[in-house]
Amino acid sequence: MSAESAINITNEAQAPGNKTRLAYNEDLHKRFILWKDQSNNSINIIARMINRSAALVSQYINKTYRGDIAQIEKDITNLLRRKKAPEFIVKSNIFYKTNIAISIWEVLCFCDEKHVMGIVISPSGLLKTSVSEEYQKQNRGTILLTVDITTRAVGSVLRMIASKVSCTPHGIGSNSALLYAIIDRLKDSNRLILVDESHLLKWEGFEIMRRIHDATGIGIVFLGQERTLDQMRGNTKRSFLFDQIYSRIAIRRHLTTVEKSDIKRIADSLCPDLDAECLEFLHKKASEPGRFRNIANLLNWAVQINKEQNISIDLDLLKDVNKFLVI
């Protein structure tokens, strides 16, 4: 199979000369419904994302739309591609059975039950965010914070927490007043706070989390990349500032490698009976930046080519798809 043919994965229904069809792509429809439910986006918000009417989106969800389904499916495919890798949604139950996911889950459960602080460190693509989202879905009292470059300062962190627990400060709206309002709301609540992308936090942000933990007795888990641990262990000039935080970390997980057994488990869930050469190739891909995302993306496209073009999934196909994706 050539790299050029890989481009045709989703284009058949979108070709300019194709007539309107009424048959739904069941796999795409399922992925879209799952994404909608997990993202908690309203129909109105989704409609704005794809520049369509809310009525049309509702009709597509209920399979009552009788217009150009190929075109609306093109919009849905693009939306899922932008917002979340579809393979993580459809096969999330498989990913959660990997050794890495189980190890992350153990930390979340321990900190939740024992009301302590924990830390999970791993490169990007090893399921920290996916597992955190699943844990929150199963434990609705869990507070999931996702840090980015715009929410790393103290005020931003406090406002983000306050929005999750629906509290407002007493008196003037200072950071101190907001902190005390949050503490008052969370004290003795036995809830859990997950701080995803915690490597982006400034020291002051970590200190705020320590204050909340000490004052409320709730569990807190930091999930991030290597820099988080480097700051705490003394590999930076400002590491002394983290002494009080690091001393409170009761459980740590430093995850770096993907095991071959996990590769086989994931591969078997998407395309069973791959030979040893294919599994070795996938394991190599999972050792590169992107980890599980690499192999999920690669297998997802290979499976679609197999279904649409009846091409066997072998090492040549995987290499062709990989070449197409990474050039």
Quickly list DSSP for 308-325: HH----SHHHHHHHHHHH
Whether residue 121 sits in one domain with residue 79: no
Whether residue 105 sits in one domain with residue 57: no
> Which of 50, 84, 118 is a domain's end point?
84
In a domain, residue 268? The reply is yes
Task: For residue 149, give the nearest of 157, 139, 141 by alpha carbon.
Answer: 157
Q: Name the token pair of 285.
A: 């891909």
Domain containing 266: what range? 259-327
Catalogue the E-assigned strands of 162-272. Answer: 192-196, 219-224, 249-254
Which residue do the tokens 């999934």 mark?
Answer: 313
In a domain, residue 195? The reply is yes
In a domain, residue 94? The reply is no
Alpha carbons 296 and 275: distance in angstroms, whole number: 17
Alpha carbons 91 and 24: distance in angstroms, whole number: 21
In a domain, residue 5? The reply is yes
> Which of 40, 59, 84 is a domain's end point?
84
In a domain, residue 75? The reply is yes
Please report, in tens digits, the pLDDT of each residue of the chain (327 residues total). 443 443 333 333 333 444 444 688 888 888 888 778 767 678 888 888 888 899 999 999 988 988 889 889 988 888 887 765 444 434 455 666 788 889 999 999 999 999 999 999 988 778 888 889 889 888 888 999 999 888 878 888 998 899 888 777 665 568 888 899 999 999 988 999 999 999 888 888 899 999 999 999 999 999 998 777 776 765 555 556 777 888 889 999 988 878 888 888 888 877 788 899 999 999 888 888 777 777 878 888 888 888 888 888 899 999 998 888 875
Q: Are 157 and 201 in contact (CB under 8 A)?
A: yes
Whether residue 223 sits in one domain with residue 275: no
Alpha carbons 52 and 119: distance in angstroms, whole number: 42
pTM greater than 0.85: no
Q: For the CA atoms of the chain, what is the radius of gyration?
A: 23
Residue 56 CB neighbours (<10 A): 16
Whether residue 277 sits in one domain with residue 210: no
- Res 10: pLDDT: 36
CATH code for the domain of 125? 3.40.50.300
Class of residue 326 by CB neighbours under 10 A (exposed 0-12, middle 13-18, buried 19+): exposed
- CA-based angle 117:129:90, to the nearest 5? 140
Q: Domain count of the chain?
A: 3
Q: Name the token pair of 230.
A: 């480097």
- Res 215: pLDDT: 95
Whether residue 174 sits in one domain with residue 53: no
Which residue do the tokens 């009525």 mark?
Answer: 55
Whether residue 268 sits in one domain with residue 228: no
Q: Provide the Cα torsion 1, 309, 85, 253; round to 10°.
A: -60
Task: For residue 91, give the nearest of 322, 296, 281 by alpha carbon.
Answer: 296
